[in-house]
Structure 1
Amino acid sequence: MFHPIANIDDAQTLAQAIVNTIVEPFLVLDEQFRVLAASRSFYETFKVDPEQTHGSLLYALGDGQWDIPALRLLLETIIPEKTAMDGFEVEHDFPNIGQRTMLLNARKVLYDHSSAVTILLAFNDITARRSIEKEKEELLARTEDLLRQKDVLLREMEHRVANSLQIIASILLLKARSVTSEETRQHLKDAHQRVLSVAEVQRHLHTSAGMEEIDVVSYLSKLCGSLASSMVGEDQPIKVNVTAQGGRIDSQKAVSLGLIVTELVLNAIKYAFPREKAKALIQVTYETDGSDWKLTVSDNGAGKAAGEVPSVGLGTAIVEALVKQLEAKIEVISDTDGTSVSVTRATFISRIPRAA
């Protein structure tokens, strides 16, 4: 059977028990902002005397430590207009407990049979949370600063590596011009082109917005352009054409593909056109299909006669090693229409015709 509270004293006892049960600091104020009740947590948190708190003006508590401009704004301006406010942040330096950041929830209670007004005020101390958030922000800022420094140092290192490779390539070319042995000269020129292919990757990494990936079309086009301009002679003009798909590739893969293209293009320039040929062409294609890809270097040169054994040299060994590293396979087709060398990762059906 339900038994209503018999008198006002019992109601006040129950109300104070409820207030004390609340974990967060809690105040009950009248319309003049005098303290009608305070939770035990309020006294423990803010180190105030219960006898000097009950019935006192909130702003006068603790020798005026609660006379906080932000709190006045909440109680005197916001609450009269809205009657409720959640998550109102107040930061204040309390004499007994130091700097605190609090979230205040406030409610104005109106009664049906009375003109009295009661204000409920709950405090959520978020000082520790704000401190952790600030530490995280500072840590994030330091991390971002370190990443920026790393990026600057990495770009500077790549710039120096690229310059060093260019110097090495120039030395090799100068040495090739000064030696008397034609065989040695050719080996030095080959080494010069291999260094240039690596330098081309470094240049792209230095100028690209993404440090880990480079644009495959731009990379192969510039690489083949460099090879053609330095290795194709006037006595036999050879056009080196690039057709590529696939967008961007990672820098490690680009180095391997660049070296393969260098070796195959150099080989075609040196051996595909033993006799003068009009419209001599070397076609470099790079196609993709999902994660599969295919690189082809073909020419419309002399090709290999039936039964002729292809030459095996340093370039061939380099290509085979790089193909194995890329977990791909190599296929050579050589006939009267020229030679085509394809490096394929997984099953791939080419959609671009070979050089003709």
Structure 2
Amino acid sequence: MSTTLPVRNLEEANLLAQAIVNTIPEPFLVLDADLRVLEASRSFYEIFKVEPAETQGCLLYALGHGQWDIPALRLLLETILPERVAMDGFEVDHDFPAIGHRIMLLNARKVLYDESDTMAILLAFRDVTERRAIEHEKQALLERSEELRLQNEVLLQEMKHRVGNSLQIIASILLLKARAVSSDETRFHLQDAHQRVMSVAVVQQHLDMTNGIDQIEVGTYLEKLSAGLGASMIGDNQPVTITVVSDSGMIPSAKAVSLGLIVTELVINALKYAFPEIHHQAAIAVRYTIDQNDWTLIVSDNGVGKAPNQAPKADGGLGTTIVAALAKQLDAKVTMKTDPAGFTVSVARTLAAAPLLEAA
């Protein structure tokens, strides 16, 4: 079965071709081999503000008082297209007298006839002026955003340095005061405050090393914190080994501060009270495990432990109060266990967390 359209003569063929051209929504031209306009679409006349009488049969470059005499268009039609059958997406950036500045993408096709040496050129125009403007605006916004990001990074680094310096100054003042006072109790309190400030300073220092803003590698952080505590608090008269075993993982800096303060309190308490006498194998272990969204922090020692009547309560000493408050911030449960092998404190966050503070 033939699918050929029933075109009976040349006149009908021309009418059909004209109808097809006029249905194309974008500007469209049919040129002969000499680049004279054979046909133009209705959208071409409407968009470029030209009349059929001034268009058909005219040289393309002469249309609209020469508005199409564009170097880029000449390059396409006279240099590129003769070497090719087709050309797609050729960009023309031009100021048209009637419609102003426009950016056009041109698609060109050569039509060769088998029965003669004549040739036609099909030329379609797509206006991408608005799209290019949006792209340029987007690029400008991206560049501005990058500039602001770099400025914020500089400000953040400056802020981090100032915070670090301030913490060091506060810690130094506390340490100087601790050395100056005559009361042992006051000295101990000032030393405790010094260690708490230093535990926060370790977080800030670790952020500098990891170039992070809100995430810290927990294992490295706890190792550095424990090493700092040991260096500042362990004396020659009673050596104590502090070991850290941790699952690898990133935690928010706010959580790291709370965990660091908890570890600081528990390690300080162990160093103060777990070894009242010389213990040649004195050891404190810090363990941190991660199970999906749950985690457990355990600080244990092999010291003397606590007598049953010394079991901590939620309203106990300052260290106990601080640990309980920090655990509450982390939605965690505190469990304390004492036995002949030593003393263990577990701070755990589970989906079904138990009461805040328990003693075993």
For residues 58-90 of structure 1, give each alpha carbon's deviation from its aligned partner in whole angstroms, at most 9, with x where no partner exists.
Answer: 122233332223222322333333312222222
What residue number does 2:174 align with? 172
Q: Distance in 2 between matches of 1:3 and 1:180?
A: 112
Identity of aligned residues (%): 63
- Alignment correspondent of 1:209: 211
Kindly indicate whether residue 99 of structure 2 is the aligned counterpart of residue 97 of structure 1. Answer: yes
* Deviation, structure 1 residue 3: 8.2
Query: Cα 1:187–1:308, aligned 2, differ >3 Å: closer, same or farther?
Result: closer
| 2:69 counterpart SS class | coil
Shift of 1:120: 0.7
TM-score (norm. length: structure 1)? 0.92
Gapped regions of structure 1 (runs ≥ 5):
349-356
> Are 2:199 and 1:186 aligned?
no
Give 1:10 shift: 3.4
Instruction: Find the aligned partners of 1:186 and 1:10 in 2 and give their Cα distance.
Output: 107
> Aligned with 2:174: secondary structure?
helix
1:69-218 matches, cutoff 5 A: 69-218=71-220
Within-5 A mapping of 1:250-261: 250-261=252-263
Q: Can you give the 5+ residue segments of structure 2 that lack an aligned partner in the other structure?
A: 353-360
Structure 2 counterpart of 1:330, from 325, 329, 334 = 334
Q: TM-score scaled to structure 2, two decimals?
A: 0.91
CA contact (8 A) 2:203 2:253 kept: yes
Q: Matched residues in 1 for 2:248 and 2:290: separation?
A: 6
Indicate if the aligned counterparts of 1:304 and 1:336 stay in contact, CA closer than 8 A.
no
The residue number in structure 2 matching 1:320 is 324
Cα distance per residue 1:33-77 (max 9 Å; x no partner): 111111121122222343222112112223333222322232233
Q: Structure 2 CA distance, aligned partners of 1:204 and 1:308? A: 36
Question: Contact 1:238/1:282 (CA < 8 Å) preserved in 2?
Answer: yes
Q: Is residue 286–residue 295 contact of structure 1 (8 Å, CA) maintained in 2?
A: yes
**Distance of 1:208 and 1:120 partners within structure 2:** 60
Deviates more, 1:120-129 or 1:339-348: 339-348
SS at match of 1:89: strand
Aligned to 2:250: 248
Equivalent pair of 1:305/1:336 in contact (CA under 8 Å): no
Question: Partner of 2:286: helix, strand, or coil?
Answer: strand
Task: Measure the CA separation in 1 of the matches of 2:173 and 2:151.
Answer: 33
CA distance in 2: counterparts of 1:3 and 1:88, whole angstroms: 33
Q: CA deviation at 1:307?
A: 4.8
Report the counterpart of residue 356 of structure 2 in structure 1: none
Aligned counterpart in structure 2 of residue 302 of structure 1, from 284, 294, 304: 304
* SS of equivalent residue, structure 1 residue 118: strand
Q: Which amino acid aligns with 2:215?
A: E
| 1:38 pairs with 2:40 | yes
Matching residue of 2:350: 346
Corresponding residue SS for 1:242: strand
Query: 1:43 touches 1:50 (CA, 8 Å); kept in 2?
Result: yes
How many residues in Structure 1 have an aligned counterpart in Structure 2? 347
CA–CA separation in structure 2 for the residues paired with 1:98 and 1:83: 31
Report the Cα distance in structure 2 between the residues aligned to 1:290 and 1:121, rounded to whole angstroms. Answer: 62
Partner of 1:236: 238
Q: Are 1:296 and 1:343, in contact at CA under 8 Å, matched by a contact in 2? A: yes
Q: Which residue of 2 aligns with 1:68?
A: 70
Contact 2:105 2:128 in 1 (8 A): yes
User: In the superposition, relative to structure 1, how do residues 96 and 347 fare at CA in structure 2: closer, same or farther (>3 Å)?
Assistant: closer
In the superposition, relative to structure 1, how do residues 212 and 301 fare at CA in structure 2: closer, same or farther (>3 Å)? same
Deviations along 1:265-291, one digit per CA (max 9) or x if unpaired, are 000010000001102111111111222
| Aligned counterpart in structure 2 of residue 292 of structure 1, from 288, 291, 294 | 294
Runs of 4+ more than 6 Å apart:
none
Contact 2:93 2:104 in 1 (8 A): yes
How is 1:255-294 mapped onto 2 (pairs within 5 angstroms)? 255-294=257-296
Distance 2:95 2:248 in 1: 61
- Contact persistence 1:306–1:335 (CA under 8 A): no
When residues 94 and 3 of structure 1 are mapped into structure 2, their CA distance, relative to the original with a 3 A threshold, is closer
Q: Deviations over 1:185-240 (max 9, x none)?
A: 11111011111111111111233222110121221111111111111122111111
Give how far 1:306 is off: 4.5
Question: Partner letter of residue 307 of structure 2?
Answer: A
Cα-to-partner distance string for 1:124-157 (whole Å, 9 max, x where unaligned): 0010111011111111211221122122212211
Distance 1:241 1:294 in 2: 16
Distance 1:308 1:137 in 2: 67
What SS does structure 1 have at the residue aligned with 2:200?
helix
* Residue type of the alignment partner of 1:341: V
> For residues 145-198 of structure 1, what are the alpha-carbon distances to aligned partners after superposition, in whole Å with 9 as ceiling and x for unaligned?
112212221221122111111111111111111111111111111011111111
**In structure 2, C-alpha distance between the alignment counterparts of 1:295 and 1:73, rounded to whole Å:** 73
SS in 1 for 2:297: strand
Q: C-alpha displacement at 1:337, in angstroms?
A: 0.9
How far the C-alpha of 1:347 sits from its partner, in A, is: 7.5
